[in-house]
A and B are shown apart, each in its own frame.
Chain A
Amino acid sequence: MKLTNIRFFATANSKGNSKNSIIKVLMILLVTSVSLIPSFTLTVASAVNEYKNDFRARCLELDPWLKELTDDILDSVRNINHVQEVDMLKGMRSQLFSINQVTDNNGICEEWQKEIEERNAAVQALSLIGSEKMSVIAGKDLDESPSFCCIIPSLFYPFEDTENYNNLEYIDGESLIGKTLTVTANDGEYYETLYNYFDGEQGGNEWIRPAALEYKLKIVGVYYASPTANGYFDSIYVSEETGRLIQETELEAGGYDLNSDETLVEKWWNTPSLRTHYVIVDDYDNIPYVYNEISKLGLVCADNPELGIKESVLIISKILSVASVILLIAPSVLLVIVLIQSTVSNLKKRRGEIGLMKAVGYSDKNIFFCLCYEQLIVTLKGFFVGGIISLILIAISNFYNNHSSYVNRLYIVDWSGFLTLLSISLAVSVVIPVVCQLIALKRLTKIEPKDAMNNM
């Protein structure tokens, strides 16, 4: 039997099933449950996952406020379960720098100069810690670059010229690779650093603010600016060595003699056991455990990692993952039940008609294909409606999240992932009706040609 004839027959008959609208609605639900909801669930879950794996989200600050951090003590911290490494902060930690100039090989970039002056350009500079790596999506990373280089986010917005940070016109970070930023801390007012002290009984920390100097940081690469973890639209990274050099230069400029131990600041700089350390935990979820163990050692440690994740994101992620499972199971179970029921009652109702088809020469195979096709027309209609609804909703939501705050970028659904899920739901829309027909196949073969003679 030719496909076109099967289609002709099935199209006419598919109008007749009273359960069709229920099947269509369930199908729409199922398609959205397979494509729309998991798209969001996966997007948020992968963002949360990415965040949890981020170095800075697993990194606890440890300070010598109750005890000096001697090698013995650091070793006992290293021996705590789930501790991966303990690193000393070698130099600068994080500093707000104003941008004074953007230059390239030909001198000052005029188009940037105007922007910088008018719009109060600034970046938050962070230096890497210990084994921390920041991979780049374009250009070179900091490992293979000399000191005084930096990497900037893929979506770069180094301006403080707006009240609300919605719908920013990000600069494509890649366009700045090769250029050099001339920066000074805090508009040239001062460089800011915390030093620790411990006098044998008590400790603490104090700010010192030496005069700010100018640095030239060459942009060598661009990192992927994920809205959760890896930085922010105005965060640039320098290497640990660059951070150390800046810190050292600033202290010397502030009049400290780094070869002596006279002042508290000099003593702090030259005594590793007085310096701030970072404890890197193997997994975000083990942070409370490690924090507890460190506290038991009589040490002061931050209970939260340097990089925080919004509680609401974690909650949304949990709700979505539960909801997506329920929404996946409920409509598919219902659909299978309704489909089988409707197939079976259909076969009962159409016993005479099907008997007649067999009498005039239709084989079981012919009739099976006709009935499958009939069912497919209904489920595929549901698929198209559900697919289009999902597509529109995701397009709207992506548009909104693309044009609102930076953190909302977290919820931008990746289209290729969505299309994969959509093709899965297409497969489901085809497989489920075929399976239901297969389940009912035995009843179909039991209908005999002579059933057409029963007076029904």
Chain B
Amino acid sequence: MKTIELKNVSKLYNKDVCALNNVSFTVNQGEFVAVMGQSGSGKSTLLQIAGLLDSCTSGEVLINGENVSELDKNKLADIRMKTLGFVFQSFHLNSHLKLYENIMVPMLINNEFKNRAEMKKRAEELVETVGLSHRIDHYPSELSGGEQQRAAIARAMANDPDFILADEPTGNLDSKNEIMIFEELKKLSDSGKGVLVVSHNEAVMDFADRICIMKDGVLSEK
């Protein structure tokens, strides 16, 4: 069973702001978990720690059973590359790369791909699953916001990770596109990925298998 596990995790910023207060939390494979809560409640901090983008002040993080607390920067980067995919509010697509090339960006550092033709093939498959085949040769500036975020989801899937972590993925989108993005994420959890979405958007509740509420750094199951 693939899991991301947080055990009694606390996070202090500048030694006084307590963004996470003794949080224990698990994301399992094939599960769509939504964390909701007001702005400033600590949702992003939770995602950063679960996604190995930041370290916790106390507690333990286990990825697929492996305790990552003691690992160095490069080892953490390696785990992120192989097991975690990210979707952020800003799409951060590279404006000089075509859609499929953007999806190839995480593959460029993955030695499991023998050559770029293989990467391109994988990118084409991913573009198809997010329904952007007709846009494959377009640059980001030629895509709508919703299309860009779908491209970002395809990019998160580039190295076939076990988990997708999304921070306010619909923050820059209108309500029609919101639904499409949540649908894409739902498809991923149905295909066996663990999906953690952090959002204050209530629309996510219709898709989530499990909803947690964050309030002042304390997490509770709904």
Contact = CB atoms under 8 A, between A and B. Distances in A.
A453 B48 contact: yes
A352 B90 contact: yes
A198 interface: no
Contact of B54 (A1, A360, A363, A450): A450
B116 A12 contact: no
B137 to A, nearest CB: 13
A19 interface: no
Contacts of B95: 16
Contacts of A168: none
Nearest to A357: B105
Given A5-B109, A361-B77, A363-B77, A450 B53 contact: yes
B96 interface: yes
Contacts of A353: 92, 94
A453 B44 contact: yes
A359 interface: yes
B80 A449 contact: yes
Contacts of A359: 51, 53, 80, 86
A360 B86 contact: yes
A4 interface: yes
Could you say which interface size class chain B belongs to?
35 or more
Interface string B41-54: 00010011001011
Contacts of B105: 9, 357, 360
B139 to A, nearest CB: 10
B31 interface: no
A12 B101 contact: yes
Contact of A362 (B101, B109, B167): B109
Contacts of B40: none
A450 B88 CA distance: 10
A8 interface: yes
Interface string A414-456: 0000000000000000000000000000000000111011111
A12 B94 contact: yes
Nearest to A13: B96
Interface SS of A by simple majority: helix
Nearest to B73: A363
Nearest to B89: A455
Interface string B78-94: 10111001101110101
Given A12-B94, A449-B53, A5 B108 contact: yes
Contact of A454 (B78, B81, B90, B116): B90
Contacts of B73: 363
Interface string B149-170: 0000001001100000001000
A363 B76 CA distance: 10
A366 interface: yes
A358 B108 contact: no
A407 interface: no
A15 interface: yes
A16 B108 CA distance: 20
A327 interface: no
B65 interface: no
A89 B167 CA distance: 98
A88 interface: no
Contact of B109 (A4, A16, A355, A361): A361
Contact of B90 (A4, A450, A455): A455
Nearest to B102: A12
A6 B158 CA distance: 17
Contacts of B85: 360
B48 A450 contact: yes
A366 B107 CA distance: 13
B142 to A, nearest CB: 15
A356 interface: yes
B145 interface: no
B171 A455 contact: yes
Contacts of B96: 12-13, 15-16
A20 to B, nearest CB: 12
Interface in A324-368: 352-353, 355-363, 366
Contact of A452 (B74, B88, B116): B88
A5 B108 CA distance: 6
Interface in A1-56: 1-2, 4-6, 8-9, 12-13, 15-16
Interface in B57-84: 73-74, 77-78, 80-82
A50 to B, nearest CB: 54
A80 to B, nearest CB: 74
A417 B106 CA distance: 46
Given A1-B108, A13-B94, A361 B116 contact: no
Contacts of B167: 453
A452 B92 contact: yes
B53 A453 contact: yes
B99 to A, nearest CB: 13
Name which of A16, A359, A448 has the most chain B CB atoms within 10 A of its CB.
A359
A16 B54 CA distance: 31
Contacts of A361: 77-78, 80-82, 106, 109, 159
A450 B167 CA distance: 11
Given A359-B86, A361-B78, A4 B116 contact: yes
B53 A356 contact: no
B92 A356 contact: yes
A366 B80 CA distance: 15
B108 A8 contact: yes
Contacts of A448: 53-54
A343 B51 CA distance: 29
A363 to B, nearest CB: 6
7 contacts: A12-B101, A356-B92, A360-B80, A361-B81, A452-B92, A453-B167, A455-B90
List the 5 closest pairs (A to B, CB-CB), nearest first.
A361-B81, A5-B108, A356-B92, A360-B106, A450-B53
Interface of B: 44, 47-48, 51, 53-54, 73-74, 77-78, 80-82, 85-86, 88-90, 92, 94-97, 101, 105-106, 108-109, 111, 116, 155, 158-159, 167, 171-172
